[in-house]
Structure 1
Amino acid sequence: MIGKSAAKVAVVGAGPGGLAAAMLLAAEGYEVEVYEKQEVVGGRSGELRLGEYRFDRGATFLMMPHLLEELFASAGRSLHSYVSLQELDPLYSLHFGDTVFRPSTNQDQTAEEIERLFPGNGAGYRRFMADEDDKFGRVMPLLQRPFQSPRDYVKKDVLHALPKLHATDTVYNRLSRYFDDERLRYAFTFQAKYLGMSPWECPGTFTILSYLEHRYGLYHPIGGINRVLQAMGEVIKEHGGRIHTSCGVERILVKNGHAAGLLLENGERVDADYIVIGADFGSAMTRLFEPGVLKRYTPAKLERKRYSCSTAMLYLGVDGAVDLGHHSVHFAEDYRRNVDEITRLGTLSEDPSIYVHNPSVIDPTLAPAGKSSLYVLMPVPNLQAGIDWNKESAIVEEEMMERLESIPQLRGLSSRVEESQFFSPLDWQNKLDVYNGATFNLAHNLGQMMYLRPHNTFQEVRGIWLVGGGTHPGSGLPTIFESAKISARLLQEHDRAARSKAAVQTGVAGTGAAL
C-alpha cells in the first residue's frame, strides 16, 4: 500500500489559493515550502496597517463558510479554533438616492421589504430564490472538479446542469425575468462586479452569486478576512510546512519539460518535486518562466485574453464612529452608463458607484477605541484602458473623497481622517503583481470558463498545478478555495501513481537481481 508522500512541494505565492493548497498538502505529509514576495501572507487579500488602523487589502466578507469549514477539516483542524465569524444582518445596505434596500437571509422579511420599496416584486424574488436553488444544486458539482479535457463536457453532471446554466444569456437579462424595477435588478446583478464584469455581459450562470448571498449569508471574521489567511498559515506550520515571506520567486526552473525547482530573487536555488503556482496568473506566466518555455501563454496571447475591471481604493483611519452599516453600496445615478464606462469604454466615470466597508461597526479590533477603519472601493477600468494613473491618482482620490462627502452619513468626513492611503490599478500591478491591475483576474466570459479556463494541472510544464482566481473554477474566495482542493487532489493522485509505478519497477528490478 502506498502511504503518505515525503515529496517536496514548493508553493509560489501565499494568497488564498496557495495557502489553502499548502495547508491540504502539508496535512497529507508533503514537505511544503511557501514563498511569498510580500511581507505578509494573503496576497491581494492580506492585511494593511496604517498607524494604529488595520484593513483588509482586498476581500471583505466570507460567503458559504461551510466550504471553509470543510477545508480546515480536511487538514485535521477546526476553523472555529482559529477564527471567530460573525454573521451580518442585514447583508448590506444598497443606496439608490433616497431609497435604501437592506436585504437579509430571512426570505419572508426580505420579500416584505421588497414589497414595501418596490411594490409587486415580492413574488418575483421568491421565484428567483426557488429557481436558483435548483440551479445551484446542479452547478456546484461543476465547481468542485477539474475540466481538463473536452470529454469533461459530456459527463453526467454537465448534462444535468446544462438546462439551468444559462451560459448564453446574461445576468441582467436573467434578473429582468423576475423584477420590473430597475433598482431591484441592480440589487441582484451588481454581484457581477465580484467577477470584475458587467451584468449586461456576464454569463447568466452567475446569477447564483446574489442567490448565494441571500441563501447562505455573509460573514465577517473578527480581525478581517486576512485573519482567515493567517490561520491557514498557522495550520501549515503546525503540519511542518514553512512559509517564507519577503522572499520572491525569480524563476521556475524547468528541465526536460518538467519543473525542477525555483530560483529565488535572493539568488538561492530551491529543489522541489512538484510546484503549485498561487501567484496572479498573468504575472506568473509573463515573469516566472524563461522566454520560449511557454507556448500557450506567450505575452502576445496573454494580452489578447479578457481581464476583469480594476479598483481604485481608499483606506481611511477615521476619528469617531461612522454611521453606516458594515457594507454599503452607493449606486451611480446612471448605473448602466457607469458600468459601460468601466468595462467597455475604458474611461473614468463622472458619476461613479462606490462601495464602503465599515467593519469597525461590529469589530473593535481594527481601530483604536472610538475610531473607525473605513475601506472605500470604486470600480475602474483595468490598465488596458491606457489611463495615466501617475497623473490621475491624485484627482481620483480627491473625487472619491468628494463622493463620500456627498453621502449624508459621511458629511464632514475629510476633517476626521487621521490615516489615509490611496491605491490605484497601477499600484495593484506594481506593488502586488496583479497583471493589468485586473483585481478580479481573468474575466469569466464563455471563452474563459471551465475547460477554456487555464487548467488546474498546468498544460505547459509537467509537475506544476495552478490555484487561484486565474484557473478553474474562477475568482472569488469560495471558488479559489475550491481550486486549491481540486489541484491538491490532482497533485496527490499524480504522486501516488508515480510512486506506485516506481514501486513496481523497483520490485521487478529486485526480482531480476535475486534470480
Structure 2
Amino acid sequence: MIYDVGVVGAGFGGLAAAATLAKKGMKVAVFEASNELGGSAGKFERNGYRFQSGATLGMGFEEGGVLHRLFDQLNIDPPAMTLLDTIMDIHMPDRTIHYFRERSRWYEEIQRVFPTQSSAIQSFYDEVYRVGAIVDQLTEDLPVFPPRTLKDFMHLVPFVNKDAMKLLPFMNQTVEDRLKKYSLHNHRLFRVFLNGELMDSVQTSVEYCPAFLGYAALQTFHKGAYAVHGGLAAVAERLASFIKHSGSDLYMRHPIHKVEKSGQHFEFHTKRDRVFRAQKALLNNSVHNFHDTVSKEMGEQSYVKALKEEKRDSWGAFIIHGGVEGAVFEGEDAMYHQFIDPQKPDDLHDGGQFLMSLSDPRDSSMAPVGKRSLTISTHTSISPWWNSEKYEADKEQMKNRLLDTVDFYFPSFKEKLDIVLPGTPITFQKWLRRKNGKVGGYAPTGKYSWLNSYSIRTGIPDVYQCGDTVFPGAGTLGVTLSGMTAAKEMTR
C-alpha cells in the first residue's frame, strides 16, 4: 500500500494534521516512536498516578479558539475540562499575584498588586489585547509564514490591509521597547512577573521577545485556560481515535530512522526493518532531529542546514513529576502555580522561576483518592547536563531547589510528597527522542529573530514539517496551528 501522507510523530501538530487530512478523505499513516500519544503534551502512569509529560495547561478551546475550530471541523467532542477563572497564582517573595482570566478582574488585581503604576500597566494590557486580536485574525486563515515561495507571498497579499499595517510597529520592536512607552521598563516587580509569563509561553524575556509574539501569547491566557480531565493526552487520544475511525493508520512504537525518496514516493524505514510508502511526508519530530531523520540526499535539498541548527538557541527542561496529599493545597482555587525563588528572583531559568501544575481534585483519573498529581518544570541550560561528571548530584541539587521553593510558599509540602520523579534534558532525549533534550522550540533572541523562523516548508518537494520548532512556535496552540497549516498546504 502507498499512503497519501506519512506523518512522523504523534505530537499535537502531527495529530492535528493527520486528522485534518483524514477528514478530507486522504489515507494517512502516523508513526510514533513511543507507546504514548501527544509528544511533549503526552502522559505516563506510575503508582496510581497519571503524569503529564510536559505541557499541562489547556488553551484554545474557547469559542473560535484553535482547538475549538479543529474539533468543530472534525465534528467530534473534546474531552471534559474545567474552565479556570484563575489562570494561575504567581508566588513572589513578598506577594502572590492572582492571574485572572476575565479582563475586569485582572485589572482589579493589577490595581491591588501594582497600585502606583496600575494605570500604565492597564494601558499596556489594552495594547496587548488589541495587538493580540490582530495576530489572531491574521493566523486564522493559516498562511505559510515566513513565506518561502512565490505562492506563499501571493497568499499573503489579502492580509495586507489596514489592520495588518497596525501590526508593523510591533514586528520591529521587543516587548521591552513597548514597556518604555509606558515608563514600565524599570518597574522591577512588573518585569519579574512579565518575564515569568513570557518564559513560560515564548521561552524568552521582555528584553529579547518580539512584541507581536509576546502580545499574542499574553492575551491568549485571558481568552480561556482549561484543566483538561485526564490531561492534555486526552486531547491527543480524541484526535488519534478520529484518525483511526476515518480509515487511516496509527503505528505506535514505530520510530522512523530514515525517510528517503524512492521514485515517485517516499519510503519510511522503521527500527523494526519495516518499510512504509507515501506520496507526501510530514515531519513532526522537531527540526533538531531533521537531519537524523531524512536521507543525506534529501537533507542537501532542504532549507534546514545542519551546522546552523547546532548553533541555534534552545532550552532544555528540568522536570519533576510527583504525587502529594491533597490537604497541602486545601482552600487553594488555583491549579497552576508559578514560583519565583525568594533567594534569586531575577533568575529566569534553572529554578529561578518555574511552573507547577496540580491535577484537578475532581479528576479521579489523575491520582488516588485524597492525592493530587503534579508536574514541576523549569527551563534549563542544556550543555551542563551532558558534560557534567556529577550528573546525579546536580540532578539531586536541582530537585531540592525546586521542592524547597514550593515548601517555602506551602509549608509541609515536602513531607506530604508521595512520589518524586525528577527528569533532565537527558530524560527528554531518552523518552521523547528530543535531540540533546531540546524542548519548547527556539528561544527568540531579539526583535527580528522571528525572521529566522522555519515555516512548514522544508525546501524538499512534498516534504513538510510542523511542531514547536516551526512558526508560530512553542505551546500546544502554536504546534497545532503549524500542523493545520501543513495539512492545508498539502491539499491545495
Q: TM-score range with shorter-chain normalisation?
A: 0.7 to 0.9
The Cα offsets for residues 38-73 of structure 1, whole Å up to 9 and x where unpaired, read as 011111111121210111111111223122111012
Determine if the alignment matches structure 1 residue 221 to structure 2 residue 217. no
Q: Give the drift of 1:485.
A: 1.4
Aligned length: 470
Which residue number in structure 1 is paired with residue 293 of structure 2?
288
Compared CA separation, residues 414 and 336, structure 1 to 2 (3 A): closer
Question: Structure 1 length normalisation: TM-score?
Answer: 0.84
Which residue identity lines up with residue 112 of structure 2 in the other structure? Answer: R
Shift, 1:441, TM fit: 1.7
Amino acid at match of 2:238: A
Rounded Cα–Cα distance in structure 2 between residues aligned with 1:321 and 1:209: 36
Deviation at 1:358, TM superposition (A): 1.3
Instruction: Give the counterpart of 1:17 among 5, 13, 20.
Output: 13
1:327 matched residue in structure 2 = 336
Identity between Structure 1 and Structure 2 (%)? 21
Does the 8 A contact of 1:427 with 1:437 survive in 2?
yes
Q: For 1:188-212, what per-residue CA distance to the aligned partner results, in whole angstroms no more than 9, with x for missing partners?
A: 3423212222332121222324542
Superposition pairs of residues 10-159 of structure 1, within 5 angstroms: 10-65=6-61, 66-79=65-78, 83-143=79-139, 144-147=142-145, 148-149=147-148, 152=153, 155=157, 157=159
| SS in structure 2 of the partner of residue 273 of structure 1 | strand
- Given the superposition, is the C-alpha separation of residues 314 and 397 from structure 1 closer, same or farther in structure 2, using an over 3 Å criterion? farther
Moved more, 168-177 or 83-92: 168-177
Deviations 1:408-456 (A, max 9, x none): 4543333333322111012212331213322112234466536x42231
Q: Is the deviation greater in 13-22 or in 197-206?
A: 197-206
Higher relative contact order (CA 8 A, sep 6+): 2
The amino acid of 2:369's aligned partner reads A
Structure 2 distance, partners of 1:322, 1:302, is 44
The 8 Å contact of residues 41 and 476 in structure 2, kept in 1 or not, is answered as no
Shifted more, 11-20 versus 89-98: the winner is: 89-98
Map of 1:270 onto structure 2: 276
Other structure's SS at 1:109 match: helix
Looking at structure 1, the residues matched to 129 and 401 of structure 2 have their Cα atoms a distance apart, in angstroms, of: 41
Give runs of aligned pairs for residues 61-460 of structure 1, distance below 5 A.
61-65=57-61, 66-79=65-78, 83-143=79-139, 144-147=142-145, 148-149=147-148, 152=153, 155=157, 157=159, 160-165=163-168, 166-178=170-182, 179=184, 181-193=187-199, 194-209=201-216, 211-255=218-262, 259-283=265-289, 285-295=290-300, 296-304=303-311, 306-323=312-329, 325-333=334-342, 337-339=346-348, 342=349, 352-383=352-383, 388=387, 391-406=390-405, 407-445=407-445, 449=450, 452-459=452-459
Q: Which moved more, 1:145-154 or 1:128-137?
A: 145-154
Q: Is the 8 A contact 1:315 1:376 kept in 2?
A: yes
Structure 2 SS opposite 1:92: strand
Distance 1:320 1:337, change over 3 A: closer
Deviates more, 1:426-435 or 1:309-318: 426-435
Aligned residue in 2 for 1:345? none
Partner-residue secondary structure (3-state), 2:365: helix
CA contact (8 A) 1:46 1:57 kept: yes
C-alpha distance in structure 2 between counterparts of 1:235 and 1:248, whole Å: 22
**If you compute each CA radius of gyration, which structure gives the higher value, 1 or 2?**
1
Local SS of the residue matching 2:214 = helix
- Give the root-mean-square deviation of aligned CA atoms: 2.6
Contact 2:326 2:361 in 1 (8 A): no
Is the Cα contact below 8 Å between 1:50 and 1:419 reproduced in 2?
Answer: no
1:174 aligned partner, one-letter code: R
Q: Supply the distance in 1 between the matched residues of 2:211 and 2:36 (Cα, whole angstroms).
A: 37
Q: What is the rounded CA distance, in whole Å, between the counterparts of 1:161 and 1:274 in structure 2?
A: 33
Code of the residue aligned with 1:242 in structure 2: it is: D
Query: What one-letter code is carried by the residue in structure 1 that aligns with 2:323?
Result: G
Letter in 2 for 1:252: V
Instruction: Out of 423-432 and 360-369, give the one that drifted further.
Output: 360-369
Q: How much does 1:489 deviate?
A: 0.8
Q: Is the 8 A contact 2:260 2:268 kept in 1?
A: yes
After the TM superposition, which of the residue ranges 111-120 and 185-194 deviates more from structure 2? Answer: 185-194
TM-score, normalised to structure 2, is: 0.88
> Which whole-Å CA distance do the structure 1 matches of 2:190 and 2:369 have between them?
37
1:54-106 deviation per Cα after TM superposition (whole angstroms, max 9, x unaligned): 11111111223122111012223233xxx112111211111111300102123
